[in-house]
Structure 1
């Protein structure tokens, strides 16, 4: 067996069963603990980056200024716009331009309609559940610490994520030269650049953390956008049908594939995600100072929002609402690990549950209400991006 990063628990420890493992195993109708073959695969994933893009990055860094320009020309204009054929770029773009055999455009379109109907609920879950929970696992935080991104304003980080999310959820976003495709490949390029730099840095502790932005951590990030959102919306009173679940997971499977995640770490069923989520506790140490720094910073992000009217009041209200949602999802004990102030109760989350249960149950019976959720939901998502308009424009200029 290859070297095991210190962050990964021994196989014997992962085999031990507890109440959580039994409950998840019963729900998933599968063993939550890994087989030895799965454990070896998990260990390998923690020490593997994005092989295809890492090859491109090795070539880029031979002549960073010129080769990066060639890469961006190929990405945004096409291989035919290069001054001459470049085998490394031809190989990479021919691979990502060819959609996998399992890709289903109908499911992608269905997923977009479902996503639009979620409106701001999707944003609440990504921010207050997925992001906050992710910060509890220090392995995700290490690249942010060593690249200086830890000190970046939370609104800036949210703007970058929100801009990419909006790009990929536009109609036909994954067509070759549309923003969803180019934004995803650009993010993938930046991940490879960070990985290249950190692997050469004396500050990166590979013995503890494995490879920066590795396959497993990327897979878990993808699950945070997909299966975790499905868990979250149910907790907030929205109950999708099987077709909606299947199409939503399919969308994120392709987004993950395009981002460079190996297919064996991409999921088709929710139950597959529960096993990978359970493994999280064995692949990261306990929350640390980086968790507190990131969690506290994100909690105070509403005070950076440029509301047009009654700004101080709206900022304070949003700050409290987000904390209540986070507490609703992760509880006071985990809130403390993130340096967050406990709330008297999760009133706003209870309000959202009652509101959503009424609206989304009604939409299953009345088409006019379903149409309203579809149109209004997307408009609210675009309005949400406006809160970070300046930052998202800066990100767009990078393209």
Structure 2
């Protein structure tokens, strides 16, 4: 096996960028030789069931996009053989799935309210742009700047809402359908890029590979919870475990291999540390995507976005992305609001119910603002 050149290309930069994760992961955070071998191999591993469906769609023409959409909307209905084979891989839940824990994780995410949106934008998405690792496929799709940025934020938020809705991950439910739709889209993009003579496999590995899929899952789960706590949001141990369980299942539905699915927060921090510590540094794609996200003005205008990003990611991360750090007043202000609301009021009887109602009001206001902007 020839390791793609991007592995370890970040050198000292990557280790410095990953240091906070190493510190939170606890003792024994450094990867073993076997774990390093697995990381290298993951750059050359794709989602094979997804790849088979993509070949059936794009090469063999034995299934159509309309048939795929219909099958995802109703997984119990008859479907062409290639789609049936794909659905068989997700029809039987993994043995570790706990439905009660899954429901608690979804409810916990909904209770985070507007802070979840802010963390997704300026922690998860912006933080993911800090390394060039997984950005080239995104750039190749043309979804880089302008209106495409706001659309991508909206689509990510809508998917997140669907995944965390009550029963949202039951077969046929919106969250389940959208998650499998994302998986199919990833497989199609990967298939096209692997066939593109301009794709540099020796440098980058498989376009959409298990390594980058695991890293993306980590920013939506592990670093998501770390960033929420920086905003003063209370995330108890049981709630944290439930959120991680939710995203472990989402990752499974997305075709992420079991060894890359975080079992709990500590395991997730260790995995994410290993991935980031061997990532390449930011490149031109990183800077363009970061600038487009900040300039989009959603979910927050530029100055608030920069202030919050400075608080969540740190000044060094913003400089890596070509963005000017700001005084972190906005993050501190939100923490000052969240500390009494989530750490005090949220603990009283009926506290979770009140937090969920507050989150729903925030969501409706944001939806109304989005419609006004679109209009």
Q: Does the TM-score normalized on the shorter chain lie above 0.5?
A: yes
Superposed counterparts of 1:20-59, under 5 Å: 27-59=24-56
Residue 342 (str. 1) matches residue 325 (str. 2): yes
The alignment partner of 1:48 has SS state of coil
Using the TM superposition, give the Cα deviation of residue 65 of structure 1 relative to its aligned residue in structure 2, in angstroms.
Answer: 8.5
Unpaired runs of at least 5, structure 1 = 306-316, 393-399
Report deviation, 1:136.
1.0
- Output aligned runs, 1:108-127, within 5 Å: 108-127=102-121
> Does residue 1:146 correspond to 2:140, yes or no?
yes
Shift of 1:158: 0.6
**What corresponds to 1:396 in structure 2?**
none
SS where residue 128 of structure 1 aligns? Answer: helix
CA distance in 1, matches of 2:136, 2:17: 31
Distance 1:388 1:64 in 2: 39
1:272 to 2:267 alignment: yes
Counterparts of 2:199 and 2:320, CA distance in 1: 24
Range with greater deviation from structure 2 (375-384 or 25-34): 25-34
RMSD of the TM alignment (CA)? 2.6
SS in 1 for 2:133: helix
Q: By how many angstroms is 1:294 displaced?
A: 0.5
Aligned-residue offset at 1:162:
1.3
Quote how far apart the aligned CAs of 1:26 are: 6.4
Q: Report whether the alignment pairs 1:331 with 2:314.
A: yes
Give per-residue Cα distances to partners, 1:325-359, cap 9 Å, x unaligned.
Answer: 1011222232122222332x111111111111111
Of the candidates 175, 184, 187, which is equivalent to residue 189 of structure 1? 184
Aligned match of 1:378? 360
Q: Which residue of 2 aligns with 1:97?
A: 91
Change (3 A) 1:255 1:379: farther
Indicate the SS of the match to 2:160: helix
Q: Which moved more, 1:111-120 or 1:276-285?
A: 276-285
- In the TM superposition, what whole-angstrom CA distance separates every residue of 1:52-106 from its partner, at most 9, and x where no partner exists? 1111111112344953333223222346444xxx433222212212111111111
1:134 positional shift: 0.7
How far residue 386 of structure 1 moved from its aligned partner, in angstroms, is: 4.9
1:190-249 per-residue CA deviation (whole Å, 9 max, x = no partner) reads: 000000000011221111111112111111111111111110111111232211011110
Q: How many residue pairs align between the two structures?
A: 371
2:249 counterpart residue number: 254
Residue 292 of structure 1 and its aligned partner are, at CA, apart by 1.1
User: Does the CA contact (< 8 Å) of 2:135 and 2:286 recur in 1?
Assistant: yes
Partners of 1:76 and 1:191 in 2: how far apart?
18
Note if contact 2:232-2:338 (Cα within 8 Å) is conserved in structure 1.
Answer: yes
Task: Give the aligned partner of residue 3 of structure 1.
Answer: 2
CA gap 1:332/1:24 in 2 versus in 1, 3 angstroms? closer
Check conservation: 1:155, 1:388, Cα contact below 8 A: no
Residue 75 of structure 2 contacts residue 171 of structure 2 at CA under 8 Å; is this kept in 1? Answer: no
- The change in CA–CA distance for 1:18 and 1:231 in structure 2 (over 3 A counts) is closer
CA distance 1:33–1:390, shift in 2 (3 Å): farther
Is the deviation greater in 365-374 or in 89-98? 365-374
3-state SS, counterpart of residue 201 of structure 1: coil
Instruction: Give the Cα separation in 2 of the matches to 1:18 and 1:144.
Output: 25
Return the TM-score normalized by structure 1: 0.85
1:225 counterpart (204, 209, 220): 220
Instruction: Measure how far apart 1:25 and its partner are.
Output: 5.7
Residue 287 (structure 1) aligned with residue 282 (structure 2) = yes
Structure 2 gaps, min length 5? none
Counterpart of 2:123 in structure 1 is: 129
2:167 to 136, 148, 172: 172
